[in-house]
């Protein structure tokens, strides 16, 4: 079991969190799956690392741990939007663009389904040690900046883009407490963009372990705004200077990180999931000024990655649901006779699965009958 030598543990109770005001925000599609069967009070513990960690509004950062098999570790970086200017960072907006605090229901693993339904016998990681990293900084877990923003109506406010410090605290706890033989670094939505970088960190921490980077629901973000946004968050400052020397000038998309990590850590396996008409990705692409069709952008990312890294596999499903790991359709999604849960289980067990791509079907990727029921 875990060697619990972290600074502070707070046991969750069933009343620990309630639905946040963000349930009806821009993230209504990804916030919660209330069909979860997880018993929060007896399973998850909260770590409050302190130090330089904080959320966007300066509130405390915390993350969640679940003891399990000591040789298998699943680390999950949660999603929750992004903010990069006064309009997107203004929490007064009716439709918020990001989740600003760690103590909201969205950041409680016991409130999610999918891999967090620990009572489901089909759950391939229910017996693994698990770490859930909340997301509350609007910077895809990678920022290291404190920015002042001014809205059109002259409202001034500051945002702490401290995703890098928060993530480092999570990974430091993992390194201090674990010695796994198999590590999965997974992220959903915003967390998916950080997954390859932190998979590289895991490969450095555990050089004898098998490491998998899994990105859930973010392959469509291909924008010429990316370099400016990464600068706004000061993403490059905390990166390994030896690994990323000169990288900033070469940066053209979030997916350039894959090639760097693969170059330095050849043992990492990379895999991705997306749905072809993902409504949250479509929304953010519009916010970034992108006009290309989402499934075409996803296809471009997959093609680019297959030329950069190996091994790499992906699962492209029909429909418009956003991400899969946290929701019940983790168990029901199927493309061309291949269930996602079976494909993912093969991925975890070193049986690297073939690509599953709805574009190869006669009906292409439209009109998916699957819904979150």
Question: DSSP per residue over 258-276, as a string?
Answer: HHHHHHH-TTEEEEEEEET
pLDDT at 169 over 70: yes
Do residues 119 and 37 make contact, with C-beta atoms less than 8 angstroms apart? yes
CA atoms of 188 and 361, how far apart (whole Å): 26
pTM (two decimals): 0.88
pLDDT at 43 over 90: no
pLDDT at 353 over 50: yes
Average pLDDT over residues 82-109: 93
pLDDT of residue 266: 76
Token pair for residue 316? 């492209």
What mean pLDDT value characterizes the chain?
85
Which contiguous run of DSSP H or E holds residue 46?
strand 45-47
pLDDT of residue 309: 87
Which range is least confidently modeled, 103-112, 181-190, 347-356?
347-356
Per-residue pLDDT band at 291 (split at 50, 70, 90): confident
Do residues 24 and 126 make contact, with C-beta atoms less than 8 angstroms apart? no
CA atoms of 61 and 293, how far apart (whole Å): 36
């Amino acid at each position: 079991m875990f060697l619990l030598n972290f600074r502070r543990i707070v046991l969750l109770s069933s009343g620990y969190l309630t639905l946040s005001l963000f349930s009806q925000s821009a993230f209504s599609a990804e916030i919660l799956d209330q069909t979860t069967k997880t018993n929060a009070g007896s399973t998850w513990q909260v770590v409050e690392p302190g130090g330089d960690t904080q959320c966007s509004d300066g509130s405390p950062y915390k993350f969640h741990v679940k003891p399990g098999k000591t040789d298998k570790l699943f680390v999950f970086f949660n999603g929750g939007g992004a903010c990069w200017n006064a309009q997107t960072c203004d929490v007064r907006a009716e439709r918020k663009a990001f989740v600003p605090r760690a103590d909201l229901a969205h950041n409680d693993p016991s409130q999610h389904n999918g891999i967090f339904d620990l009572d489901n016998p089909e759950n391939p990681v229910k017996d693994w040690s698990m770490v859930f990293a909340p997301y509350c900084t609007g910077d895809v877990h990678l920022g290291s900046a404190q920015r002042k923003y001014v809205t059109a109506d002259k409202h001034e406010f500051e945002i702490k883009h401290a995703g890098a410090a928060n993530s480092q605290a999570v990974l430091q706890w993992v390194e201090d407490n674990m010695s796994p033989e198999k590590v999965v670094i997974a992220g959903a939505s915003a967390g998916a963009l950080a997954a390859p970088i932190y998979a590289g960190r895991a490969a450095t921490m555990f050089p004898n372990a098998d490491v998998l980077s899994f990105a859930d629901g973010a392959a469509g973000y291909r924008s010429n705004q990316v370099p400016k946004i990464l600068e706004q968050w000061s993403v490059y400052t905390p990166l390994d200077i030896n690994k990323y020397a000169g990288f900033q000038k070469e940066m053209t998309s979030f997916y350039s990180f894959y090639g760097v990590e693969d170059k330095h850590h050849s043992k990492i396996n990379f895999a991705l999931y997306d749905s072809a008409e993902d409504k949250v990705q479509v929304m953010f692409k519009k916010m970034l000024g992108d006009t290309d069709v989402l499934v075409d952008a996803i296809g471009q990312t997959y093609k680019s990655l297959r030329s950069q890294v190996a091994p790499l596999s992906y699962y492209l499903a029909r429909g418009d649901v956003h991400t899969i790991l946290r929701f019940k359709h983790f168990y029901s999604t199927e493309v061309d006779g291949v269930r996602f849960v079976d494909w993912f289980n093969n991925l975890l067990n070193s049986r690297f699965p073939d690509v599953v791509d709805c574009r190869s079907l006669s009906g292409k990727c439209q009109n998916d009958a699957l819904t979150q029921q």
